[in-house]
A = this chain, B = another copy of it.
C-alpha cells in the first residue's frame, strides 16, 4: 500500500498527513490516542445499546452519541482521502475498508431498517489499538511476539492441522458410538464437541453418556491436555532464541591474546584487534 503524502501536497496537507498517518510527532501521537479513545467510546456505545434495559432508558442519548462518532469518523475518513498520496490505494487497503465500513451502517440505517446491526463492524476499528504499540516502549515487544509467531508459523500450521484432523476423526467416531439421542446428532456437531473437548473448553452442552463414549472422551482429553505442550514448546523455543537467531561463535582463538567467543563472521579479535 502506497501511503505517502501527495507530491503536490500543499503545506496543510503535509502537516495533516504527518498528524493523521504518522506517529513520530507529538501531534501525531495525540491524534492516535484521541482516535483510539473515540473508537473505544463508539464501540462502548454500540455495546450498551445492545443491552435491552439500557437501550430502553438511554436509547436516544446513545443514538445521538452514535451520530456524533459517525460524523467524526466520516470527517477523519475524508481527511485521510484528501491528504494521502494515492487515495484509491488507501480506500482499498484493509484499514481503509474497515474505516469505510465503520461509517456506512449509521447512514444506511436511514434507508434500510435493521442495517444498523452492521455497526458491529465498527469493533474491527479496535484493531487500530495495535497502532498504539508503535509508540515508545511497546515497539520492540510487539515486534518480538509477532516475529516469534511468524518464525514458527509453519510449525503452528502443522500442529493446527493435526488438531483439526484428530478432531474430525474422533468426532466422527463419537457420532457412531454415542448417536443422536445423547446430543451427538450429526457428524459436524460431534466434531464441534471434539474441538470443545480437545481444547479443554468443555461447555458440557454435549457430553458423552455411554461407557465407550466416556472412555474415548477421556483419551481425547488427555491427548488434548498433553498436546498443548507442542505449540507452547514451539513458541518458547523460538522466543528463547536471541534476536539474531541462535548465536554462532567462531571456534577460533586469537593467537595473540587467546581470547575466544568471536563472532562467526569476525575477522579481527574483539579484544586485541589482531587479525584472526
Contact = CB atoms under 8 A, between A and B. Distances in A.
A34 interface: no
Given A169-B124, A221-B195, A47 B203 contact: no
Contacts of A203: 202-204, 207
A138 B158 contact: yes
A234 interface: yes
A232 interface: yes
A247 to B, nearest CB: 6
B222 A229 contact: no
A261 B263 contact: yes
Interface of A: 43, 46-48, 50-52, 117, 120, 123-124, 126-127, 129-130, 133, 137-138, 141-142, 144-145, 148-149, 154-165, 168-169, 172-173, 175-176, 185-189, 191-192, 195-205, 207, 211, 214-215, 217-218, 221-222, 224-226, 228-240, 242, 244, 246-247, 251, 253, 255, 258, 260-263, 265-275
Contact of A43 (B133, B161, B168, B233): B168
B145 A188 contact: no
Given A149-B230, A204-B205, A253-B253, A273 B271 contact: no
Contacts of A202: 196, 200-204
Nearest to A140: B154
Contacts of A144: 155
Given A165-B127, A204-B204, A120 B173 contact: yes
A209 to B, nearest CB: 8
A266 B273 CA distance: 9
Nearest to A46: B187
A225 B189 CA distance: 19
